[in-house]
Structure 1
Amino acid sequence: MLADGLSLAKMNCFSRKLRRTAPELGSSKNELVPSKLPRINGWSWPLHGFQVVGWLVYIYLAIVSFGIYIPLLPPPWNHVVHALMGIIFILHFIAHIAALTIDPAEAGVRAKQSYSSPVPLFDRSKQSHVIQDLHCYLCNIRVGPKVKHCAACNKCVDGFDHHCKWLNTCVGGRNYWCFFVALTSATLGVLLLAIVILFIFIQHYLDPNCLRTAPQYAGIQGNTTWLVFLPLAPVKTSSAGLLIVAFGTLMLSITCLMMFAHLMAFHFYLFYKGISTYDHIKMRRSKESNIEAGKPPDVKTNNKAPKFLQT
């Protein structure tokens, strides 16, 4: 009887000890939440839809640029634009691949994390923030003042600027300049292509013969038959088909140009202010919070980010 009582007491004691290891609901920085593997870089699955669209647009513009419209330019401009566009496309490709491939994670994460062990997820409904006193409780590392834990990549990123859906990875201190070079080259590329197509549009009606200088046009009569994919694999097409593709490509180029120019202007503004995209968002949210609270927009209540932006 006494032995049974002692056994029961031990079981109760161990049960209470086990229950104490679990934090109370929504109370602590160590709240147990579901886990997932952190993303290494932009090649990590699943790929984002924007990332796939971006590559399809890049491939399409490369095909129509070098296969259809640049060969129609009169010499020596066809050679000049070929060289310029080639440099721009290659530069963009290299910078884009570098921005995708470089792991922007904080040095402690890269040194400690093998990317084979799941990391707890950041759940804002249960945790106000995961970095406190320069320590991330999800990555379990000491971090610097410019580190943010990205919820999408589920890891700490040094010099965090933003999470880019087009790259499918974070843009941070390690890959920011690759991102900026890719953005700049993309802007220059679509601008140059738009100028080329506009020139071809105008010359098609004013003087189409200046666009038909390739030797393959020597045996073609009339202005309604055009050649694409010169000079290696010429394919005949109609004047209407050439202009329809040109119009669609021009609309796509202008759309991309507006997006890229707006993004470039924004990042030049960030350079001027000496802040990151994330800093800009925090200040804007803080300003909106002050306005909602009836305070002047320029009044700073504290230096802490709004709760929904804290890391």
Structure 2
Amino acid sequence: MAIVFCGPTALNTVQRRRNGLSLPLHWIQIFAIIVILFLILMNYLTLCVNIPTHPWQWLNIVLTSLIILPFLFIFIRLAYIDPADDEVIKKSIGPKTNFDRRQHAHVITELYCHICSVHVTEKAKHCSSCNKCIYSFDHHCVWLNTCIGGKNYRLFLSMLSLVVIGTLVLFINSLLQFIGSFQDLSTSTSLLKLKPFYNSNQYAILMIPSSLIAFQVITAIIAFIAIACWGLTLYLLAFHIYLCYHGISTYDYVVNHRINRTVNQTLSQFNQLNQNHLSTKETELTPQKRRKTNHLELYKDNGNINHSPKSQVYTVEGNHRDSSQRLQTRQSLNQDGYILKNESKIHDGY
């Protein structure tokens, strides 16, 4: 799955990662590799060998190979590609430069990265996990242990598509064999009837002779893992199709979502503050003065939400560069000021 890290990471002594194969490997990446190898081996050495040789066995082998082989090529290619900005690649790999926020408000200012010490393209972002600027940054994927950006985004979508198709085929295959294992081998004429690899009582699990019960258990496990992977990957693929349709990246989506959420929370807080303030005022006013109180009229102008000029004025401003944002609300009637600042950090706010 796609993951955008939210928060600082201490990388003062970490070398820049070249690609997803650079050490150390992430534990989620190792887990993903184990699951992939498990499903592939189970497909060829369990599901493909306990069915009739003609035509189902060869059809199964050919169909799954048309999915697995391209997937493996893309998976290895994704892990091998260096998604960094070209200027970063040209520069020799070295340790991370310590970044001092007292000198610079952001890691990248005016398209210059103060950590990589190079000028980068407009959509480049500095990934704290990979410790380098990524060309047209989208997100950092812990399943691949590398960043997804302009250089590998299409490959990433292709891989997701193959995973969705492959896990669905694997689920259907394992489910049918699980159902077929309950058929009577001597009398059944069903198309789901299996043909144990060794004899009528011994099925092959990773080419190891196993009992019928063991085969049923392992096919049920394969079906469960396959449908779980299918659901998660389908959701992720649909999400990225949505992002492509709207022309935004995962990074932009997360930042905009945080800004909107913070603005809504701030407006809610100060609307409550305004109500409490008016209630206090009304208790101090005479009945005649209450009738003369101006009604509050809200209006929206250029994304700023204000009250009418005659009443308390609350202004919510989005002032951010990438992930930084500042929200300010001011009550102008009695010159009381209320300021709320929020620094959202995604990849250390780069």
Alignment of 1:267-306 (within 5 A): 267-294=240-267, 299=303, 301-302=318-319, 304-306=321-323
Q: Which residue of 1 aligns with 2:80?
A: 101
Q: Which residue of 2 aligns with 1:145?
A: 122
Which among 69, 78, 83 is matched to residue 62 of structure 2? 83
Q: Which residue of 2 aligns with 1:44?
A: 22
SS at match of 2:49: helix
Match of 1:185, as an amino acid?
L
Q: Which residue of 1 aligns with 2:171?
A: 194
* Cα distance in structure 2, aligned partners of 1:134 and 1:55: 36
* Cα distance in structure 1, aligned partners of 2:102 and 2:233: 35
Q: Does 1:178 align with 2:155?
A: yes
Q: Which residue of 2 aligns with 1:22?
A: none
* Cα distance in structure 2, aligned partners of 1:126 and 1:246: 60
**Identity fraction in percent:** 32
Alignment of 1:2-41 (within 5 A): 34-41=12-19
Match of 1:273, as an amino acid?
H
Q: Which residue of 2 aligns with 1:5?
A: none
* Cα distance in structure 2, aligned partners of 1:35 and 1:122: 12
Match of 1:38, as an amino acid?
R
SS at match of 1:47: coil
Match of 1:181, as an amino acid?
S
Q: Which residue of 2 aligns with 1:70?
A: 48
SS at match of 1:199: helix
Structure 1 residue 236, shift from structure 2 partner: 2.6
Residues 37/268 of structure 1: CA separation in 2 closer, same or farther (3 Å cut)? same
SS at match of 2:20: coil
Q: Retained in 1: the 8 A contact 2:87–2:118? A: yes
When the two chains are superposed, the root-mean-square deviation of aligned CA atoms in Å is 2.5
Residues 246/133 of structure 1: CA separation in 2 closer, same or farther (3 Å cut)? same
* Cα distance in structure 2, aligned partners of 1:125 and 1:269: 39
Q: Retained in 1: the 8 A contact 2:29–2:144? A: yes
Structure 1 residue 299, shift from structure 2 partner: 3.7
Q: Mind listing any 5+ residue stretches in structure 1 that lack a counterpart?
A: 1-32
* Cα distance in structure 1, aligned partners of 2:83 and 2:121: 14
Structure 1 residue 206, shift from structure 2 partner: 3.9
Structure 1 residue 80, shift from structure 2 partner: 1.8
SS at match of 2:255: helix
Match of 1:157, as an amino acid?
I
Residues 159/207 of structure 1: CA separation in 2 closer, same or farther (3 Å cut)? farther
Q: Which residue of 2 aligns with 1:160?
A: 137
Residues 182/126 of structure 1: CA separation in 2 closer, same or farther (3 Å cut)? farther
Q: Retained in 2: the 8 A contact 1:121–1:151? A: no
Q: Which residue of 1 aligns with 2:107?
A: 130
Residues 227/163 of structure 1: CA separation in 2 closer, same or farther (3 Å cut)? closer
Structure 1 residue 302, shift from structure 2 partner: 4.5
TM-score (norm 1): 0.78
* Cα distance in structure 1, aligned partners of 2:130 and 2:111: 19
Greater share of helix: 1
* Cα distance in structure 2, aligned partners of 1:260 and 1:275: 20
User: Please, which moves more after superposition, 87-96 or 68-77?
Assistant: 68-77
Number of equivalences? 267
Q: Which residue of 2 aligns with 1:56?
A: 34
* Cα distance in structure 1, aligned partners of 2:203 and 2:101: 60
* Cα distance in structure 1, aligned partners of 2:173 and 2:323: 48
Q: Retained in 2: the 8 A contact 1:158–1:173? A: yes
Residues 283/123 of structure 1: CA separation in 2 closer, same or farther (3 Å cut)? farther
* Cα distance in structure 1, aligned partners of 2:47 and 2:90: 49
TM-score (norm 2): 0.70
* Cα distance in structure 2, aligned partners of 1:59 and 1:125: 48
Structure 1 residue 303, shift from structure 2 partner: 5.9
Q: Retained in 2: the 8 A contact 1:162–1:170? A: yes
Match of 2:87, as an amino acid?
G
* Cα distance in structure 2, aligned partners of 1:268 and 1:102: 22
Residues 207/160 of structure 1: CA separation in 2 closer, same or farther (3 Å cut)? farther
Structure 1 residue 123, shift from structure 2 partner: 7.1
Structure 1 residue 202, shift from structure 2 partner: 1.8
